[in-house]
Structure 1
Amino acid sequence: SMLHPLYDALGFTWVRGRGLEIESFRNEPGAPSDRFLTSPYYHLLSNKLDHLRRRLDPSLPSEFPVFDDLRLIGVTDYLAFVHSFNGNASQGMMGSWSTDSAAGFSDSMISALLRIQNHLAMATKMAVLTKLADNMMTTYLGGDAGRRVLDGQIKRGEGDTIRAALVMGDMRGSSRLAETSGREIYIDTLNQFFDAVAAPFNRKGGQIMSFIGDGFIAVYPCERHRSQSEIACQAALAAARSATARVTDLNLRRKEKGLTDIKFGIGLHVGNVMFGNVGLTDRLTFSVFGSAVNEVQRLQVLTKKYPHSILASKDFASYCGASNWLTLGSEELAGIKQKLTVLSPDLSGALAVDEDGALEPVYDRRSDAEQVMLLHRDAARLSAGDPSKLQ
């Protein structure tokens, strides 16, 4: 089992002659099938056993459905085990050993395999600790920032001045929605907004630095010369077009359910920013700061004034090719000495479903181990009188 917001578990399967296969399994909505209820792992968990051993006799009915699959590859003997970490039944390792030897496992082999389980569990846990740390840093800080923190950039004031294309996004009408709808509806709508609008800015060179209430800030770091600035700004503009397409698709689906449209505003800018740690000595945040960040934030606010959901500075537009931009005028931004020329991109080609398939969810299949661990977890919560937390 893995500590990750998207993935429940990592699966490692080794078959002689095929080598090792590693799979990450996402949490997929839906009730588990009867196959999982009749699996060896669930049998172990529900009966509080640490292992079971079965000889597979082709002349007898299979005790567990998976035995039918194992027989097809010649398995004659099977040993399954469960090892929890720190007594936590939902965090640990489960697995099995199989052999196609005609004689099966000898008693000494079984004893040896059971004897090494503690060592195997410890080695497995240690092997994934680095991956777990990387998962958490990437999830909460973003890829680049997470790597910097893991590499030791953890002191207040540490950081670099970088050039980057900057994106500031915000959902419109969220305050009214929070006041007129329940908590679950509000959070679900906010997550739909982030899935539609923010997700495109977290790929192809972009990284979301932080979520601020119902908004977000993203950066596309680049070198300090024109060609790299063009690549960064054009990638950010492509993501803005993708976000527009995704919102269009999302709102069509929401309309079918009788829900109101989600509206948004995005500011696009380019400039030098400080990229690093600020905060208290013992409580820091890793983000971007500087006058360029203030400017992109004010550009985003201007989408409330103009009838355009995406606004950009002249500097940003110049790196994207200004022929497809509508100049709206010059604005005197609060706290900014010079007026900023504001433009809006032509979004006429952003009405089709984007290359990601818009908002169609993609789920990896869930492993048998994940299914039974979730069943065991839910059963424990139900017995503890907490059915509200069942999946």
Structure 2
Amino acid sequence: MQSQSTTSSVSPLADDATWPVKRRRLLDWLVQETSEERFIDNIFVDLNNRLARDHVPVARSTLHLRTHHPQWLGARIMWKTGMEKADIQTFGYDVEETERYRNSPIDRIKSGVGEIRWRLEKDSKETYPLYDELRSQGYTDYVAWPLYHTLGKEHVVTFASDSEGGFTDEHIAYLTDLLPALALVSEIRLKNRLARTLLETYVGPHASEQILAGATTRGSGVTVGAAILICDLRDFTAISDLWPRDDVIELLNGYFDAMAEPIARHGGEILKFMGDGLLAIFPLSDPMACRNLLEAIGEAQVALAVLNKDLVQKGRLPLGYGIGVHVGDVMYGNIGSRSRLDFTVIGPAVNIASRLESLTKEIKRPVLLSKAFVEMADCTKEFESLGSHMLRGLDRPFDVFGLKEADKVAVLTHA
């Protein structure tokens, strides 16, 4: 605790014989009556409004939570007087290296300090830029505490007042009493969010919804119509043998960014990364699924061209790739052993997309599409027939199409 100054002002709580009842009521609400609310930011807003009704002069509060997310180290939830919704800001993994973070009370709490208190009206010697910012905004008092979750996971909550005299000892005691309950409630919501985030990260948003809804039995699934895209990187075995490990990982990440981000942006779902390849579907429940898939391929090719230009400038060979596209019914669900499942799609339509991707190596076109997809896409002017070809596992020739602009893109992207 940085400041030991006190105030002689009388708290409304101290004059109100019912304030212990109010505190108990608030704790009961926090622990027992928020079970139907999924999101901690909504609970946090409600909590601060209830504190104000109980005459605790909170005018600004923040909740700093660490998350397990591929992009974000954590998030800050901020509430101020009059806000109906909290402001949520995410932070990347490099935030702890910034001067602002290192020179903040949050960093001090994370280093093990159990409480930070600063009376902005009276304590003149500044230790953090935040204090000056808060004072300029009219705040008079500031307090921060750690919130302890299971196994020592530590987060931070802060409260600031704009009332004359700031918080009294009774206010601080009132807020302190809430910390264990707030830690419990926030941990439950954070773990729910983490479970969803981890599932979305590893199996995609649509599959994660199915799993969270209870689709965890082996063999459970549904038949869906989908446009199917399979992409594979060329000569990756040679690259992985010759390149340093970290360079190979960086290359794969750049390649998957170029492919995956347009797919996600246009409503596709990546079900599987397969070494240097990926499998994605665009459900036909969206009438624009085929058009969206083509848009995703176009944007991915542009991104891959940029990546290849950078590789050439660094003295590397450009990346080649093959994309196979088909459309049809697939079984979408859980497949695997009794204890290890994979949420994916299977069926003849997937096999054909895979065979088309393999065929790109033979006929030297980066993107090959089936006749069924071309007919469903209903934009034949964008395609050209490449004749009939035998696909492995099929007993008859298969009509194959390419993109008319593919050769222009291939100059930059296809080895």
Report Cα offsets for 1:306-348 as digits up to 9, x if no partner.
2211111111112232222121121111212332111111226
Aligned to 1:334: 392
Name the SS for the 1:156 alignment partner: coil
- Asked if 1:85 is matched to 2:85, the reply is no
Report Cα offsets for 1:102-141 as digits up to 9, x if no partner.
1211111111212221111111111223222221221111
Report Cα offsets for 1:357-381 as digits up to 9, x if no partner.
xxxxxxxxxxxxxxxxxxxxxxxxx
Residue 54 of structure 1, aligned match among 113, 118, 123: 118
Name the SS for the 1:304 alignment partner: helix
Which ranges in structure 1 are unaligned for 5 or more consecutive residues? 352-391
Please show how residues 368-383 of structure 1 align to structure 2 within 5 Å. none
How far is the alpha carbon of 1:28 from its aligned partner? 5.3
How far is the alpha carbon of 1:148 from its aligned partner? 0.7
User: Is the Cα–Cα contact under 8 Å of residues 325 and 346 in structure 1 kept in the other structure?
Assistant: yes
- Asked if 1:135 is matched to 2:197, the reply is yes
How far is the alpha carbon of 1:275 from its aligned partner? 0.6
Aligned to 1:7: 72
Q: TM-score, normalised by structure 2?
A: 0.78
Q: CA distance change for structure 1 residues 221 and 242 in 2, over 3 Å: closer, same or farther?
A: same
Instruction: Give the RMSD, CA atoms, in angstroms.
Output: 2.0
Q: CA distance change for structure 1 residues 133 and 350 in 2, over 3 Å: closer, same or farther?
A: farther
How far is the alpha carbon of 1:163 from its aligned partner? 0.8
Report Cα offsets for 1:52-104 as digits up to 9, x if no partner.
2111136823221100110012111111111232343xx33202111011121
- Asked if 1:344 is matched to 2:405, the reply is no
- Asked if 1:254 is matched to 2:311, the reply is yes
Aligned to 1:174: 236
- Asked if 1:203 is matched to 2:261, the reply is no
How far is the alpha carbon of 1:31 from its aligned partner? 7.3
Aligned to 2:97: 32
1:87 and 1:158 map into 2 onto residues whose CA distance is 35
Report Cα offsets for 1:248-293 as digits up to 9, x if no partner.
1122223333333122110011011111111112211110001111
Q: CA distance change for structure 1 residues 30 and 86 in 2, over 3 Å: closer, same or farther?
A: closer
Q: CA distance change for structure 1 residues 277 and 33 in 2, over 3 Å: closer, same or farther?
A: closer
Please show how residues 265-276 of structure 1 align to structure 2 within 5 Å. 265-276=322-333
Structure with the bigger RCO (C-alpha within 8 Å, sep 6+) is: 1
Q: CA distance change for structure 1 residues 45 and 144 in 2, over 3 Å: closer, same or farther?
A: closer
- Asked if 1:150 is matched to 2:226, the reply is no
2:104 and 2:94 map into 1 onto residues whose CA distance is 20
2:94 and 2:364 map into 1 onto residues whose CA distance is 39
Aligned to 1:362: none
- Asked if 1:66 is matched to 2:66, the reply is no
Name the SS for the 1:144 alignment partner: helix
Aligned to 1:282: 339
1:110 and 1:7 map into 2 onto residues whose CA distance is 32
Structure 1 or 2, whichever has the larger Rg, is: 2
How far is the alpha carbon of 1:206 from its aligned partner? 0.8
Calculate percent identity across the aligned residue pairs.
31
User: Is the Cα–Cα contact under 8 Å of residues 71 and 93 in structure 2 kept in the other structure?
Assistant: no
Name the SS for the 1:23 alignment partner: strand
- Asked if 1:238 is matched to 2:295, the reply is yes
2:252 and 2:110 map into 1 onto residues whose CA distance is 37
Q: CA distance change for structure 1 residues 34 and 205 in 2, over 3 Å: closer, same or farther?
A: closer
1:29 and 1:106 map into 2 onto residues whose CA distance is 37
State the aligned residue count: 343
Q: CA distance change for structure 1 residues 132 and 118 in 2, over 3 Å: closer, same or farther?
A: same
Residue 41 of structure 1, aligned match among 63, 88, 106: 106
- Asked if 1:125 is matched to 2:183, the reply is no
22-31 or 330-339, larger mean C-alpha shift: 22-31
How far is the alpha carbon of 1:41 from its aligned partner? 1.9
1:26 and 1:264 map into 2 onto residues whose CA distance is 34
- Asked if 1:306 is matched to 2:363, the reply is yes
Aligned to 2:174: 112
1:98 and 1:257 map into 2 onto residues whose CA distance is 52
User: Is the Cα–Cα contact under 8 Å of residues 241 and 350 in structure 1 kept in the other structure?
Assistant: no
1:220 and 1:302 map into 2 onto residues whose CA distance is 22
AA partner of residue 154 (structure 1): T
AA partner of residue 63 (structure 1): T
2:91 and 2:233 map into 1 onto residues whose CA distance is 28
User: Is the Cα–Cα contact under 8 Å of residues 245 and 350 in structure 1 kept in the other structure?
Assistant: no
2:147 and 2:290 map into 1 onto residues whose CA distance is 50
Which ranges in structure 2 are unaligned for 5 or more consecutive residues? 1-65, 410-415
Name the SS for the 1:119 alignment partner: helix
1:193 and 1:38 map into 2 onto residues whose CA distance is 37
2:346 and 2:201 map into 1 onto residues whose CA distance is 20
279-288 or 55-64, larger mean C-alpha shift: 55-64
